[in-house]
């Protein structure tokens, strides 16, 4: 065993690593979990704007997203970024505009998860800015999400001037009810842009009416 291998073995004893998705030992993101993000994208739409997501927001993918959001791990952000990059590649070629973290989330974490995932993909995006409260959406109902999101986002003036008349691709980490993305679409349209598509790491699966659970 070489010096590098010995150091890695020693580190694994002192600081055990487990896959953030499935818990497999000795790797931050295992190959099977990473592969869940690089298959055919989940397709849909938000009020007629095409949506491409790398995966459904469930199981191991949900765990990877949670780990990236809470700890900002490089391995997780690279794995999620690889999936996001593939989703973006299947959208029309256009400037990227990202949804910003809530102010409360940014204060608590100290970083913006969407920006982190984009960096993991080697990509950059123009951030929308928060112009009103809104707050975290996680514990709200669908109707509460829609109401809270209204009027909360805007494209900064200098970016609006530069992108006026252009089509853009909106980027987020997880699309849940679609309320935040509807507001993002409204914001870029108000700035004179067109929303060509939405790209995300994951999409919360739609419930089938009448289904149990």
- For 27-58, the pLDDT digits (tens) are 999 999 999 999 999 999 999 999 999 999 99
- For 101-155, the pLDDT digits (tens) are 888 888 889 999 999 999 999 999 999 999 975 455 455 455 555 556 778 999 9
Mean pLDDT of 8-30: 76
Enumerate helices (H) and strands (E) in the chain, giving the number of each. Answer: 9, 8
Please identify, in words, the CATH class of the domain defined by 40-203: alpha beta
What are the start-end ranges of the E strands in the chain? Answer: 42-46, 49-56, 96-98, 126-127, 129-130, 153-154, 167-175, 194-203
The full set of domain ranges for the chain reads: 40-203
- Residues with Cβ within 8 Å of 10's Cβ and at least 6 positions away in sequence, in order, are none
């Amino acid at each position: 065993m070489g010096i590098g291998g010995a150091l890695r073995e020693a580190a694994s004893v002192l600081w055990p690593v487990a896959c953030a998705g499935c818990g497999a030992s000795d790797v931050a993101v295992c190959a099977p979990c990473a592969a869940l993000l690089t298959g055919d994208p989940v397709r849909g739409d938000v009020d007629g704007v095409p949506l491409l997501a790398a995966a459904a927001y469930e199981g191991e993918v949900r765990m990877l997203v949670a780990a990236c959001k809470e700890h900002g791990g490089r391995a997780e952000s690279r794995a999620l970024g690889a999936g996001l990059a593939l989703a973006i590649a299947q959208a029309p070629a256009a400037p990227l505009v990202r949804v910003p973290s809530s102010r409360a989330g940014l204060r608590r974490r100290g970083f913006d998860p969407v920006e982190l995932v984009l960096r993991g993909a080697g990509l950059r995006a123009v951030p929308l800015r928060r112009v009103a409260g809104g707050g975290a959406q996680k514990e709200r109902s669908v109707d509460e999400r829609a109401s809270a999101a209204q009027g909360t986002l805007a494209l900064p003036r200098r970016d609006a001037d530069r992108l006026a008349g252009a089509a853009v691709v909106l980027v987020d980490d997880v699309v849940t009810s679609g309320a935040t993305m509807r507001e993002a679409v409204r914001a870029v349209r108000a700035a004179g842009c067109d929303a060509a598509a939405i790209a995300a790491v994951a999409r919360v699966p739609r419930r089938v009416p009448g289904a149990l659970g």
